[in-house]
Structure 1
Amino acid sequence: MAKLERMRAHQDLIDFGNRILNEARTELYIHLRFMARALDSLGYTMDLATQSMGTDARTIHYNPNFVFALFLESPQKLDRLYLHILLHCIFRHMFSSDQYEDQALWDLAADIQVESVLDSMDYDIINRPAYPFREEWYERLRAECRVLSAERIYHYFHLNKPDLDTLQQLTLEFHKCDHQFWKRMEDPAGGSQPEIPEDLLDDASTLPDANAGDPDVDGSDATDPENPDHPAAASNASDAGTPDSPPVAEPDPATPPKNGTGALAQVDEAVLDEQWKDTAERLQTELTTFGAEASDETGSLAWVLAAQYRQETDFRDFLEKLTVLREVTHVDPDSFDYGYYNYGMEVYGNMPLIEENEFREERRISDLVIAIDTSASTEQGQVQRFLDETAAILRRRTNFFQRIRVHLVLCDDRVQEDIVLTKPEEIEDYAAHFEMKGGYGTDFRPVFQYVEKLRTQGALPELRGLMYFTDGHGPYPTKPTDYQTAFVYDTWADIDDQSAPDWALKLYLKDTAQI
C-alpha cells in the first residue's frame, strides 16, 4: 500500500508539473502562433537532477518545486523561461557547445543572444522591465558584433575577456535555464532519474488535482494511472525516457499535446540537429509573412534568424564560374602522343619516344569588374576586409592569364573612380593603400550603365562577371545582365540582402567570428 501511495504521489507530481507547463505552452500558442511547430517539438520530463528547468533539445527537464513556485510567483516569468529554452533549440546552441574551449563563456554568450531577442519582442506575456545594465551591454555588443549571435558574442568575450566580477554580474543577469542537459545529449534516455525524496512526495498530496476542470478526464477510471486513456500514462513514458518506448508521431500544430510528449523525443543527435534547423528555417519563412504585419512585436527574431541561417557562398565558388577555357603556352608533361611511345618501345625495345605538348588548356580569369559601394552607409573597415580577402584569392597567378583586366569601380550614387589593374600583384598593393572616395547616397545602377559603356567601347571584350560589394541599402538595377553578377555583403554589417534582384547571386564574406 505504501509503495502504491508513493507511485500515486510520484504521478501526481508529474501530472501537475506537465499541466503547468502545458498552460504556459498554450499561452505561447495563443500569442505567438508562428511558433506552433517549435512549440510542438519539446516534451516534458520531471527531473530532480536540476534545480530549475533545462532542455536537451528533446524534452524540457524540470524540477517540480521550481515550476510550482515560479508559476505561483508569476505565470509571465514561466512563459518567458519556456520561450528562453525554446530559443536555445531554435538557435541550436546545444549542438555547438562542444566546439568552444570555454564552455562557461559559450553558455553566457548563448544566454545573452536569447535574452536580447526576448527583450526586443513586444508581447505582454514575456515582457520584463528594461534594466540599464542589460541595455548598456546590448549597446556595447552591437557596436562590436552587429548581429548578436552566440558565436559573435563568444568571439568578442574571447578577445576581450571580462574580469571576474563583470563575468559574475553577466551570468547572474542573463543565465536563466540549466545547461547541464546539453552535455547529456548523447544519451537519448536522459540518464537515470534520482529517487524522489519523501518530503516532496508528501507535499504532492497537498497539490491541487492535476485533472481538475479537464473536460477530457472524468470518472474514477480517468484518475487511474493504469488507464491507457489517462494523460498520466503518456506522461509516465515521457518521464521514464526508456530507449524501448515507441517513437512519438508528430502532433498537429494546431492542438498542443496534453501529455507534453514532444515530436523529437527519441532521435539521435545528428537527426535532432537537422530537425531543429528545419524548424528554424520554417519559422524564418513564417516570420517573412507574419512579421510584415507585426514586426514591432516579433522584434529582432526575424533578423537574427536571417543572419544565422543565410547561405554564405564562398568567393572561390563564384570565381570558378567566371573562368574561361583557353590554351596557354606551357609544357604539359601529363599529355603526350602514345603512338610515339609505343613506336619507340617496339623499335628500340626499352626506349619510349615522348614528345610533351607545348600548350595546355587551363581555366583562367580574363576580364572582371569589382564594384565597391563607397556611400556614407559603408564603413572603411568593411571595404578593407572585402579587398583583403579578394586580393588573397586573386593574387594567385594560377587564376590569371599573364595579363588581366580587373576594373575596380568606386561608386556611391555615381561612379567616382575606375582603376584598371593588369597584374595580379597590383590588386594586393591597391588593397593595402585603399582610400574611400565618395560618401554620398547609394545607387547601384550607375555602375551597370558604366560597364555597358565600356563594353560598347571594346574595353571589356571577355567580361564574364561583376562583383559588387555593398551593404545593400539602395536601388538595384531591374534589367538582368548577360554576364554573371553577384552582390557581396559583409555578414558583420547591417545589410539589406532581401532587396537584391533574383537574377543576381548573393555572396557573403566568410564569417570569422567562430573560434
Structure 2
Amino acid sequence: MDQPDKNLSRLRALRQALASRDVERLRGLLAEAPGPADLSALEAVDLLERACAFGPRAAAQLVWEHVRGDFAYTGWALALALRCAQGDVARWLLKDERQDLLGGVRRPRAARGLLPHEATFTRFNLTRESPTLFVNNMDPTVSTEVFEDFTGTEQLAGAPWGAAVSLERTCELVLQLAREGLFDPVVFDDLLRACLVKAWHALRHAGRHQPEAARTCLGLARELLRLHRDCGMGDANVELIMGNLIVPKANPAIVAFVCQEGPSVFLGRLRTLSWLQDDVELLRAMVPRLSPADARGNEALLMALARHGLIDELTTIAAWPDTFTPRSLPSAVQVASSAGHAEVAAWLLARLEGLGRTRATARAGEGPRARTKAPTSRHPPAARANVSDGAAPSATPHREEGAQGVAPSDKTAAAGADPEADALARQILELARCEVVARNPFLASSLSLLTPVAGHESSSLFRVDGRSLGYDVERVMDDFVEHRRAPTHDLVHALAHCLLLHPFVGGSLRRRHWNLAADIAAEAVVAELMGPRDGLRGSREQAVLDQLGTALAGRLGAERIYRALGEGRFENAVEQWERLFVSDDHGLWYPEPQDAPADDGKGDEGGPRQGERPDRASDPNEGEGASEGLGAPRDGDQARDLPGADDDAPHDGPPPASGGAQAACEDARAQERWAKAAKSLRVDLETLSRSYGSQTKGLVRELAVSTHEQVDYREFLRQFAVSSEEMHLSDSEFDYVFYTYGLQLYGDTPLIEPLEYRDEKRIRDFAIVIDTSSSVTATVVQQFVDATFDVLTSASSFFERTNIHIIQADARVQGDTKISSLADLDRWRRSIRLKGFGGTDFRPAFRYVRELRERGEFDDFQGLIYFTDGWGIYPEQMPPYKTTFVFYDEDHRPELVPAWALQITLHPGEFESMSVY
C-alpha cells in the first residue's frame, strides 16, 4: 500500500475513533497519523469539527495538539460543540483557546496544498467581517448553525457524518456560557438573532410547525435579553435585531415576543412602518402585550389606534404615562374623526376635556369650577318634554321665533365665557364635520359655507340662518359628554335646511306648519345620509317618515308636507311630531320688526299679524352676528312665498330700519350661494359621485325640487304681450302746441289736451295647451284657468280683438276653444269641461298648432304655453316659435325637457299639486 492510501486509511480510522469517543484509541492513531504538514487544511479542520461535535474535551484537545492549533478555521468547530451541547469543549475553545465563533479563515503556517476558498470552510455563512452582518436577520451566519440539526453535508472531508442533538440542551449551554461572559458583544448579539430566527422558522410554515422548538428558542432569547438589560451584555445591535423581526406576515407569536420584551422597539417601528400602522388585527392583538415606552412611541400607538377606531385598545393604554397628553390628544381626535370613527373621537375628546378640567383645577388649587349644567338633550326644552314616550304636553310647544339673534361669535362671546370650553366645543363641531365628510365626501364644500358662531344660553343646540351655524357652547359640550359622540345628525339636519333653502321663505306663512315640514324633510335627508338616529327616537321617526311617504306618494319635500299640514290631514299628530322631529332653532328665519313686540309668530291664522312687516329689521349698533338672521320677504330676489301667504295683505307697520336694505342684500346673496351649492351638489351626485347618488335618491330629488326656477305665472304670461297703439286718452302724453300757446296767452297757465292714443303691450295671438291626462285633475286645471283669466282680463292686457287657442290634450288633441274676446274667455271659464284623461304625449298638440299656423289661424303668433305636470313624451324637433312648459308640480324631471324649451316651476302654493306621481 503506497503512502497516500495509508494516509487515507489512517484518516478513516481517526474519524471512527472520534465518532466512538474512544480517546485512548484516538491517541494511538494520532501517534501514527500524518503530521500537520501531511494534512490538508480541509482535513485538519474536519477532524477538529468532528472532535468538537462528538467530544469529549480530551479528544478535541488531542486533535488540537496534533495540529498544534494551526487550523485554517475554527468557527464551525465551536458552533458544532454548542449544537451538540459539548459544554466542556465549547468552554475550552472560548476560554482557554480564545476562539471566535464568528472568526474568519486564516492560512495555516504548515498546510499541504493550496488553501481552498474561505467559503468552503464557512459554508457561505456570514462571519464577523461580513459587511452585511445584522442587516437581515434571515441571512445565515455561523451562529445560525448552533441551532440547526445535522443535514449530512457538514463534512469537509471524508464521508457524511452526524451526531445526536437536543435543542433544549443547546439553548441551556448557550445561556450558561453567556452568563459566564464568554461571548463578546457581537457574538452575543448574533446568537440572540440566531435563536430568534430558529423560533421564526419553527412557526413560519403551517405544515411544519415546531411549537416546542419555538418555545425553547424564545425562552433563550428572553434570558439573553434580560442579560442585555441587566448586565449590559451585547450592544445596540440587539434593538436592530428585534426591530427586524417586525415584517409583514410575521408570526404573531414572534411579534408578541418583541412587544413584551422590547415595547420601545415595536413602537419605534410603528412610527415608521406604514404597513404596520395599517395592520388592524396585528395592532389589536399586540396592545395587551405592550407596556409604556417613551412619549413618541406611545403617541404613535395612540394615533394608530385612533385611526382604526380601536376603542377597547385605547382604553387599555389610557393609563399609560406620556400617552394621553394635551399635545397628543387633539391630534388623535383629528385622526379618528378624519377616519370616520366618531365614537372613538368622541371618547378621546372627552379625555381631552377631562385633562383640561384637571389642569384647570390644579392651577386654581380648588375643586372643579361650578358651571350651570344646561339640559343635555339635543332638543330645545319645550320640544324635549316627553320625546321618549310620545305623550302630549299640556301646551303646544313653539320655538322662540325671532326672539333672539345668532349667538355671539368667539370675538363677541358673552362676558365671562370660558375660552377653553369654546375651543372644546369647536373641536366637537369639527369632529362632527369630519365624520359627516368621511361618510359623505360630497358634502365637504357645502359644509364649508356654514361658519360656526359660538353662543351661550341658547334654546337649542344649533341655530342656522343660511350664513352661519350658531351653536351653544354649553349644550354642545354637555350633549357630547352625555352621548359620547359628536352631533353629526344634528349638523346634517342644519345643513339640509340650507341646501333645501328652508330658511329663505316669505314672512307671511303658517310658521308652525313650515317649521315642522322643514324638520321632517331635513330628518328624511339625515336618515338617508347618516342612517337613522339611535334608540326609540330613530325608530319612531322612521315610522312617521314611512307614513308620510305612503300618504304623499313617496315625496317628502317640505312644500308637500307643508301643504298637507295646511289641509289638516295630520292635525292630530302635529304636536307629537313637533316634539319628535325638532332639532334646531328656526327663530332666525322669521325676524321680528324692530319696533314691534315679539310674539309667537303665528298671528290669528298662523300668518303675520296686522302691521307686521316681513322685512328684516336690524340694529346697526349690535355686533356681528348679534341679531342677524334670514327670513325677509323675497319679492325681488326670487324667494318662495309658500301657500297661505297673502300677497295683497296690507303692511301698515313702520318702515324698515336703515340696516334692512343691507340685510336684505346679504340674505339674497346667501340664498343665491345655497342655490348654487344645491345645484352643484345635485350635479355631483348625478355625475362624479353617482355611486353615492344611487344611495341618496331622496336627496337628489329634493335638491332638484329646491333648485327649480320659480316664476310668478302672472308676470310670465304678460311676456306674451305685443306693443300696439290703442285709441284711449293718454294721461301721460299731451300736445306741446297747446301747452306753449297757453303759456304765451296766460303767462303761467299752459293748455293741456291729452292724446287719444297710447302705446301699450297687450296679448293677441298665442296658444295655451292644457294637459288633461289621467295625472291631472279638474281642480288644478280650474286654478290655472282662473289665474290665466285674471291676467288676460286686466285693464291693459287684452286687445279688443284677440286670437287665443286653448287646447286640451292628453295622448291626442281632445278639444280646441278659440278665444276672440273677453266675453268668450269668461264664458269658457265658467263652463269648462275637461276631456281626455288618458296617457300623456306632448307631440300631438305641437302638430295641431303647426296645422293651425299653416291654415293662417294666427296673424302674429307669439308662442305656446303647455301647462302640465311634466310626465309625458316631448317632441324632438324645435318649433319655429317660443315654447314654454309650465310645471305646476315640483316633481317633474327637468332633464327630460328639450333644451330649446323654456321651463318654469310655479310657486309651491300658486297651484296645489294634484299629481298622482
Query: Please, what TM-score do these two structures have when normalized by structure 1?
Result: 0.70
Q: Which runs of 4+ in 1 moved over 6 A?
A: 6-9, 180-186, 347-355
The one of 118, 121, 136 aligned to 2:547 = 136
- What CA deviation, in whole Å up to 9, does each residue of 1:57-102 have, x standing for no partner? 4233342121222235xx6xx3222211222333454565x93676
Partner of 1:71: 484
The one of 873, 877, 886 aligned to 1:488 = 886
Matched, 1:49 2:462: no
Work out whether residues 44 and 61 of structure 1, in 8 Å CA contact, stay in contact via their aligned partners in 2: no
Partner of 1:157: 565
- What's the offset of the Cα at 1:369? 0.5
Work out whether residues 471 and 496 of structure 1, in 8 Å CA contact, stay in contact via their aligned partners in 2: no
Partner of 2:44: none
- What's the offset of the Cα at 1:490? 0.4
Rounded to whole Å, the distance in 2 between the matches of 1:398 and 1:184 is 38
Matched, 1:498 2:895: yes
- What's the offset of the Cα at 1:367? 1.2
Work out whether residues 742 and 749 of structure 2, in 8 Å CA contact, stay in contact via their aligned partners in 1: yes
2:484 maps to amino acid: F
- What's the offset of the Cα at 1:486? 1.1
Work out whether residues 397 and 424 of structure 1, in 8 Å CA contact, stay in contact via their aligned partners in 2: no
Partner of 2:263: none
2:676 maps to amino acid: E
Matched, 1:168 2:565: no
Coordinate RMSD, CA, aligned: 4.0
- What CA deviation, in whole Å up to 9, does each residue of 1:354-408 have, x standing for no partner? 7664444332222121011112222322222211111111123531221211111
Distance 1:276 1:30, change over 3 A: farther
Rounded to whole Å, the distance in 2 between the matches of 1:131 and 1:467 is 41
Distance 1:458 1:182, change over 3 A: closer
- What's the offset of the Cα at 1:50? 4.7
1:312-323 matches, cutoff 5 A: 312-323=710-721
Partner of 1:444: 842
Partner of 1:339: 737
1:381 maps to amino acid: T
Work out whether residues 866 and 886 of structure 2, in 8 Å CA contact, stay in contact via their aligned partners in 1: yes
Rounded to whole Å, the distance in 2 between the matches of 1:331 and 1:116 is 59
Matched, 1:469 2:867: yes
Partner of 1:459: 857
Work out whether residues 147 and 307 of structure 1, in 8 Å CA contact, stay in contact via their aligned partners in 2: no
Secondary structure, counterpart of 1:99 in structure 2: coil
- What's the offset of the Cα at 1:467? 0.7
Partner of 1:329: 727
Distance 1:463 1:297, change over 3 A: same
Distance 1:3 1:331, change over 3 A: same
Matched, 1:32 2:440: yes
Distance 1:3 1:383, change over 3 A: farther
- What CA deviation, in whole Å up to 9, does each residue of 1:331-375 have, x standing for no partner? 446544433554576579899777664444332222121011112
Rounded to whole Å, the distance in 2 between the matches of 1:118 and 1:158 is 24
Partner of 1:252: none
Partner of 1:118: 526
Secondary structure, counterpart of 1:300 in structure 2: helix
Partner of 2:905: 508
Secondary structure, counterpart of 1:407 in structure 2: strand
Q: After alignment, is 339-348 or 497-506 more displaced?
A: 339-348
Distance 1:376 1:313, change over 3 A: same
Rounded to whole Å, the distance in 2 between the matches of 1:351 and 1:107 is 62
Rounded to whole Å, the distance in 2 between the matches of 1:26 and 1:410 is 54
Work out whether residues 444 and 477 of structure 1, in 8 Å CA contact, stay in contact via their aligned partners in 2: yes
- What CA deviation, in whole Å up to 9, does each residue of 1:13-71 have, x standing for no partner? 44544434333221211222221122223455665525762134423334212122223
The one of 813, 816, 825 aligned to 1:418 = 816
| Bigger radius of gyration | 2
Distance 1:341 1:170, change over 3 A: closer
Distance 1:506 1:14, change over 3 A: same
Rounded to whole Å, the distance in 2 between the matches of 1:396 and 1:404 is 14
- What's the offset of the Cα at 1:179? 4.9
Distance 1:512 1:482, change over 3 A: same
Work out whether residues 100 and 106 of structure 1, in 8 Å CA contact, stay in contact via their aligned partners in 2: no
- What CA deviation, in whole Å up to 9, does each residue of 1:427-472 have, x standing for no partner? 2332333232112222212212211111111111221121111111
1:169 maps to amino acid: Q
1:30 maps to amino acid: A
Rounded to whole Å, the distance in 1 between the matches of 2:823 and 2:522 is 45
Work out whether residues 20 and 71 of structure 1, in 8 Å CA contact, stay in contact via their aligned partners in 2: no
Q: After alignment, is 417-426 or 358-367 more displaced?
A: 358-367
2:791 maps to amino acid: I
1:273-284 matches, cutoff 5 A: 274-275=669-670, 277-284=672-679
Matched, 1:361 2:756: no
Partner of 2:702: 304
Work out whether residues 501 and 674 of structure 2, in 8 Å CA contact, stay in contact via their aligned partners in 1: no
Secondary structure, counterpart of 1:171 in structure 2: helix
Distance 1:68 1:442, change over 3 A: same
Work out whether residues 682 and 703 of structure 2, in 8 Å CA contact, stay in contact via their aligned partners in 1: no
The one of 787, 800, 808 aligned to 1:402 = 800
- What CA deviation, in whole Å up to 9, does each residue of 1:254-301 have, x standing for no partner? xxxxxxxxxxxxx97863663354134223222224235243422322
Rounded to whole Å, the distance in 2 between the matches of 1:328 and 1:272 is 42
Rounded to whole Å, the distance in 2 between the matches of 1:333 and 1:14 is 66
Matched, 1:271 2:662: no
Distance 1:468 1:288, change over 3 A: same
- What's the offset of the Cα at 1:505? 1.8
- What's the offset of the Cα at 1:504? 2.0
Work out whether residues 722 and 763 of structure 2, in 8 Å CA contact, stay in contact via their aligned partners in 1: yes
1:194-233 matches, cutoff 5 A: none
Q: After alignment, is 430-439 or 312-321 more displaced?
A: 312-321
Secondary structure, counterpart of 1:297 in structure 2: coil
The size of the alignment, in residue pairs, is 429
Distance 1:3 1:271, change over 3 A: farther
Secondary structure, counterpart of 2:759 in structure 1: strand
Rounded to whole Å, the distance in 1 between the matches of 2:811 and 2:420 is 69
Rounded to whole Å, the distance in 1 between the matches of 2:810 and 2:838 is 6
Rounded to whole Å, the distance in 1 between the matches of 2:578 and 2:834 is 41
Q: After alignment, is 462-471 or 285-294 more displaced?
A: 285-294
Matched, 1:285 2:680: yes
- What's the offset of the Cα at 1:474? 1.9
The one of 72, 77, 82 aligned to 2:491 = 82
Partner of 1:193: none
Work out whether residues 122 and 296 of structure 1, in 8 Å CA contact, stay in contact via their aligned partners in 2: no
Distance 1:354 1:154, change over 3 A: closer
Rounded to whole Å, the distance in 1 between the matches of 2:436 and 2:550 is 28
Work out whether residues 802 and 820 of structure 2, in 8 Å CA contact, stay in contact via their aligned partners in 1: yes
Work out whether residues 314 and 507 of structure 1, in 8 Å CA contact, stay in contact via their aligned partners in 2: no
Work out whether residues 497 and 518 of structure 2, in 8 Å CA contact, stay in contact via their aligned partners in 1: yes
Rounded to whole Å, the distance in 1 between the matches of 2:432 and 2:736 is 78
Q: After alignment, is 165-174 or 125-134 more displaced?
A: 125-134
Rounded to whole Å, the distance in 2 between the matches of 1:12 and 1:352 is 79
